[in-house]
Amino acid sequence: MKRLLLFAMVCASISFVSAQKKFDKVSKVTSSEIRWWGYKVVKTEASSHSGTVKLKSGKFNFDKTVLVDGEFVIDMRSLMAGDVSDEDQIKLTNDLKSTNFFEVKKFPVAKFHLTKIIPLANSEYNSTVYGDLTLKGVRKTISFPANVYVTQFTVVIESAKFSLNRRDFKVFYQSSLKDYFIKNEMDIQFKVSTETLDNDNRIPVKKKK
């Protein structure tokens, strides 16, 4: 019995050490910009809205000089409508933060775990980025085009404008006809970087050998 208990403890220790793997280098995001767009079913300039949300923290993990993954925390409490002003801005922003949409009191942050980057050739964007987005407690694997540049431990990612289905993340009016007038697709575009690079020094991410 003692031997069995000792064996279990050793196995648990090994698992814990593996889970606590330390990367050779961690580069923190120092600059970020995230924009969003939402649309009504009848898509016109007057029926579309846009705004911003802020990144709370972000980092890229490296094994030696190889970019392994990235971890990002989005502050949903910073969500703001930017295409209206005064009372309309306050009303729309509060509605987006309420239980009608993002429910930020219960879900104050969203998370994105970048899992891999696949280089592209002959395209407007040099890579496809893959990762897991957790929003309102729902995790989904997503992908989107982006320009990705890695120089040593410096990383810059500039995404295309890409779409998410808000219903995949339970972002909708729970019981209201208003929801039928809103498109399910919401658009996102962002830029994150660990530091500013001159255009001449930007090197696209390369395939792992």
Question: Rounded to whole angstroms, how far apart are CA atoms 153 and 141?
Answer: 25
Residues 6+ apart with CB under 8 A from 38: 48, 49, 50, 182, 183, 186, 187
Confidence of residue 204 (pLDDT cuts 50, 70, 90): low
For the CA atoms of 141, 147, 151, 155, the dihedral, rounded to the nearest 10 degrees, stands at: -50
Q: Which of 80, 84, 140 is nearest to 110 (CA)?
A: 140
Domain range holding 120? 25-196
Q: Which residues are within 8 A (CB) of 131 and not within 5 positions of it... i.e. 6 or more apart?
A: 70, 112, 113, 114, 115, 116, 141, 142, 143
- List pLDDT tens digits, range 26-64: 999 999 999 999 988 765 555 688 999 999 999 999 998
Model confidence over 108-152: pLDDT tens digits? 999 999 999 999 988 899 999 999 999 999 999 999 999 999 988
Minimal CA–CA distance to 188: which of 149, 154, 157? 157
Residue 19 belongs to a domain: no
- For residue 117, how many other CB atoms are within 10 A of its CB? 25
CATH number, domain of 108, equals 2.40.128.110
d(CA 71, CA 176): 35
Q: What is the mean pLDDT of the chain?
A: 83
How many domains would you assign to the chain? 1
In a domain, residue 161? The reply is: yes
- The answer to the question of residue 127 being in a domain is yes
Compute the average pLDDT of residues 79-99: 89
Q: Which of 208, 198, 209 is nearest to 151 (CA)?
A: 198
- How large is the average pLDDT for residues 101-106? 95
Flag whether 206 is in a domain. no
Beta-strand ranges (E) seen in 40-123 are 48-63, 66-81, 109-119
Residues 90-109 have a mean pLDDT of: 93
Residue entry with tokens 């969003």: 36
Is residue 172 situated within a structural domain?
A: yes
pLDDT band at 86; cut points 50, 70, 90: confident
Q: Decide if 203 is inside a domain.
A: no
- Which residue is associated with the tokens 């395939």? 207
pLDDT at position 15, please? 34
Q: Report phi then psi at 10, rounded to 5.
A: -65, -45
Confidence of residue 21 (pLDDT cuts 50, 70, 90): low
Cα dihedral 43, 46, 48, 54, rounded to 10, equals: 170
Identify whether the C-beta of residue 104 lies closer than 8 Å to the C-beta of residue 76.
yes
Contact 192, 31 (CB under 8 A): yes
